[in-house]
Amino acid sequence: MFHIINKSLLILIPIFCFIAFSSLSAYWVKAPYDAWRIYEILLLLTTNVLGLHLLFKEKYQIFDEKIRKIIFPLIALLATLVFISAWQADYSPRAFADASLYFLLMSVCLIYTNLFQHYKKITENMLACVAILPMLTLIFLPVAIWDRLQGGIGAWTQSFTNIRMLDDALLPCLFLLWLRIGFLKGSDQLSKPKQWLLKVSLYSISIIYLLSFLFHGARACLLAIITGLILSFIYHKKNKLFDFKLPVLSGLGALSLYVIYHQILPNPIGSTLARTSSSGRLDLWLKALNTWLEHPILGVGGNHFLLQQPYTVIAHPHNIGLKFLSEWGISACLLLGLIVLLYRQVKHKISNVPPILLAGTVAIFVNSMLSGSLLYPVSQITSLCVLAYTLSFCLSLNTAPSDKNSMKYLWMLLIVLFSSILLVVHGQDIICKDCVSIDFEGAPAFWDSGRSLHLEPYIMNNLGNPITNIKL
């Protein structure tokens, strides 16, 4: 019974990615982004509820008993501070929902870490599917480039109305592609023509992914990719040529095609790479720091950054660390402490992590410090795949008696609590038919329009414009 449940949970992620990247209108609300958030909520709730038995059995563990004695009071203190911070926020339901979302994401990451360790073959094929599913969107990139050369618009982002959402969701998939696992690995049993076809397909897909970053002027993603590859290359001493051949050669191919395009048509498709401005990031970071200095202990509450003065259209500071610091105060410092403990626990096992996977993990963290990659629903899920798969290489067998492990009971209590909160706050939005989040700016945060707390019925006025109430 549990094996069937576990395998079903592994299928949820590629189904979610298929819906997002295929632009399939398989939802009952108006905006794709809002639909992706609803699907993400359902995925998180389902995985946490059905995956509870994995945490209860806890066959594998990340932290040893010595570290657990430190982590238990840290998590209890962190949860207490988060609840106090959310309670004192101007719009408590907004803050509680934000806290619930991120806790459930972390919990699902741990559950999938165990699932990936239990079912390695299924995991590899599932992650291989996630790696190539962005082609459902990017298959239109060559067509868009040709259309651009003919004087057309040249768009290929489909349901991703914001190009950065696509870039951030694509980044983890690129590293899973370079990892070449599952059916992307190939085997000696394949005939030479099939091996050649697989190799050409991998290089072609990789080049298309990189061209999307280049044409979008995605400096944060490209910097994250380069940083991750360099640091992983320095750390790992073996198999450098084999592991890095695909990214290096496809990178050179993509850059060559990018240069050739601009020799033919100088006008860029998106933003240019050679930009000297921070694209408003410095102002956002300064606002986040000032917000924290004004509320250093409890912060202003989760998902409240966009409501603070000075007013900015952008709904988040484009830095996950500063977002947590400004919104949750010292709770962000405690979370950082837990991450440090996690690193100290697994650092001796990092050599077990494949170089490309390690590079992808570094790239995700670098990108999260420059973008909203850990804020948008699709990029949250694709990033979760890489992070959970990385942690699966750092697990060890649990030898502690199950009845003495109090940590898991606290974690289960928090799962039930935060799941209930998310349902209470957003249960009405999950079942809201033909609804939309809307305000005058449309800056994405939890919903497509970040200031909206709930989805509202989509009503048209006599002029054909949408009417809805902005509710915080």
Confidence of residue 384 (pLDDT cuts 50, 70, 90): very high
Q: What integer pLDDT is reported at residue 470 of this predicted model? A: 46
pLDDT for residue 158: 86
Q: Which DSSP letter does residue 400 get?
A: S
- Among 166-180, 371-385, 397-411, which is the least confidently predicted range? 397-411
Can you give the pLDDT at residue 349? 87
The Cα 226–Cα 74 span in angstroms is: 34
- What's the confidence (pLDDT) of residue 240? 57
Least confident of 92-96, 165-169, 275-279, 284-288: 275-279
Mean pLDDT of 382-411: 80
Decide if pLDDT at 461 tops 90: no
DSSP string of 52-83? HHHHHH--EESS-HHHHHHHHHHHHHHHHHHH
Beta strand segments in 32-169, E = 60-61
Beta strands 60-61 and 466-467, pairing class: unpaired
- CA nearest 95: which of 380, 376, 304? 304
- For residue 243, name the pLDDT band (cuts at 50, 70, 90): confident
Q: SS3 for 467?
A: strand
Write the pLDDT tens digit of every residue in 124-180. Answer: 999 999 999 999 999 998 888 888 777 777 778 888 988 889 999 999 999 999 999
Q: Cα dist. 70→65, 67, 80, 195, 407 in Å?
A: 9, 5, 16, 50, 10
% pLDDT > 70, the chain: 89
Residue type, 115: L
- The continuous run of DSSP H or E covering 396 comes out as strand 396-397
Q: Which residue bears the tokens 């707390």?
A: 453
Please measure the distance between the N-terminal and C-terminal CA atoms of the chain and give it in whole angstroms. 43
Q: How far apart are CA 450 and CA 307, in angstroms?
A: 10
pLDDT range class, residue 403, cuts 50, 70, 90: very low
Residue 266 has pLDDT above 80, yes or no: no
Q: Indicate whether 467 pLDDT > 60.
A: no
- Please give the backbone phi and psi of residue 61, each rounded to the nearest 5 degrees, phi first: -140, 155
Flag whether the pTM goes above 0.85.
yes
Answer yes or no: is pLDDT of 401 > 60.
Answer: no
Q: Provide the total of helices (H) and of strands (E) in the chain, helices listed first.
A: 18, 6
Mean pLDDT estimate for the chain: 88
Per-residue pLDDT tens over the stretch 323-371: 999 999 999 999 999 998 888 888 888 888 999 999 999 999 999 999 9
Scanning 347-441, the segments in alpha helix (DSSP H) are: 355-368, 377-392, 406-430
Q: What is the pLDDT of residue 180?
A: 94
